[in-house]
Structure 1
């Protein structure tokens, strides 16, 4: 049966089925610094590597979200910077007919998992092209990190509510 717009509904509920897809992925920002070159190449010993991650999400259109995986790496040796890399790697995701309560877990757990291998390669290539051995990051369990953050946020909200109740 056609609706008033003349559009026929799709068979088997295909027009209401949840759908998620990666539209595109890209380097949003990349910075590599080698402030102590060429002296750094004479340094002895392994540098200390500090890796920080941050995930952000923006809604671009009704069914389109951008997820940005930001990776900051700083390598130091004897309190001097060997190299520093800042990478913002993004994925554009189409999300349709997904329940509202499942969108945030997808954006902050599953989407970063999908783009991470590509961000990891860009980071390794940048470090290698800077004159150092490629930095190969271990796989990350973004789902577990999301659950930890959600639990910490829930505990923080309960603590804030308890303080308000005592005030």
Structure 2
């Protein structure tokens, strides 16, 4: 049942814990960009780029209560479709420190690996775009990452690995 505060605001579900999430810091933990065209002198006349993006995530509890490190790793590889030569390789590990309260323990893992990366994704996308443009290529504006699907795929991969491990033993 909804209750009314002194100011007239309606507050629903007083018994449910409030989820509080705050980004305390964002940072590039590691980044490299290799322009193979400049290194090898690939001719630009026959270039048909094929871009592959790989994303992986990691989250860890910090020593401070309710604080977590969430690291998003992106590997962007552009290869020439005509001959398979690599045009550029961008690897970036983007970190953020989050303060998270009110999330039930059984939902914390997906929250950290879905909601937290989703919140900082626009910043990573901007960095990837700027680095590729500054590296001599058209700006790479990566599509929005579906972190829910990515999380489910990782759970399925872990489940299959566990099943394979038990079959071996």
Q: Normalising TM by the smaller chain, what interval?
A: 0.7 to 0.9
SS in structure 1 at match of 2:110:
helix
SS in structure 2 at match of 1:75:
strand
TM (normalized to structure 2)?
0.77
* Correspondence for 1:91: 96
Match of 1:57 among 53, 56, 59: 59
Match of 2:135 among 114, 118, 130: 130
Distance 1:68 1:62, change over 3 A: same
SS in structure 1 at match of 2:143:
coil
How far off is 1:54 after superposition?
0.9
Pair 1:19-2:20 in alignment: yes
Moved over 6 A (4+): none
The alignment yields a C-alpha RMSD, in angstroms, of: 2.4
* 1:114-153 CA-partner distances (Å, limit 9, x unpaired): 1111101100100000010001111111012212322443
Equivalences, count: 152
Match of 2:112 among 102, 107, 112: 107
* 1:20-71 CA-partner distances (Å, limit 9, x unpaired): 2211212111111113317346242312212111101122232111111110
Give me the whole-angstrom Cα distance separating, in 1, the residues matched to 2:119 and 2:165: 35
Gaps of 5+ in 1: 1-11
TM (normalized to structure 1)?
0.78
SS in structure 2 at match of 1:25:
strand
